[in-house]
Amino acid sequence: MKIPTRSFAIFGVLLIASATGLRADTELEGRMQSMKKAFKELAKSLEQPVAADQGKYLNLISQLHDAAAKARDLTPEKAEEIPADKRPDFIKAFQKQMDETVAAIDLLKKDVADSDWAGAQKQIAALKKDQKEGHSEFRSEKQ
């Protein structure tokens, strides 16, 4: 039987990818990337808010909220490194932290809707803190 050269090439790539630990991004990582995109633009814009851009900010907040709410129901990759008996607690703690993040996004939405720009900046700072703490606790060191 003749095996096309291309098959060897594909097989080779797969072999190298698995040997070097390359993997497809997790769904959670994809949601987090969406959070980053919206959050980065928001944080920058809200440093010098423009009243006329309120609708644009609310739209970004809605994207951030949507991505965070979906991320909340996914499982961090780090769960695989946690002993099976402790895993449910780890996942519960992750969900609790994400619920707090979603609540902070709701407060941000209220502040922006009320044109309370100082309040909005406080929520941006709170979200940066959530991000830092969330990553140190729930993100695998391998990531």
Residue 139 touches ligand HEM, criterion: CB under 6 A? yes
Residue that has been written with the tokens 């780090």 in this structure: 78
Site for ligand HEM in 84-123 (CB under 6 A): 94, 97-98, 101
Site for ligand HEM (CB under 6 A): which residue of 11, 12, 15, 36?
36
DSSP-H helix ranges across 46-116: 54-72, 87-113
Q: How far is the CB of 105 from ligand HEM (least distance, A)?
A: 8
What are the structure tokens assigned to 80, written together? 């695989």
**DSSP assignment letter at 132:** H
> Looking at 12, 14, 33, 92, which residue binds ligand HEM (CB under 6 A)?
33
Find out whether 65 and 143 touch, Cβ atoms under 8 Å. no
Q: How many residues bind ligand HEM (CB under 6 A)?
A: 24
Evaluate the CA torsion angle 38, 140, 132, 90 in order and state its sign.
Answer: positive
Chain residues binding ligand HEM by CB under 6 A are: 26, 28-29, 32-33, 35-36, 39, 76-78, 94, 97-98, 101, 127, 130-131, 134-135, 138-140, 143
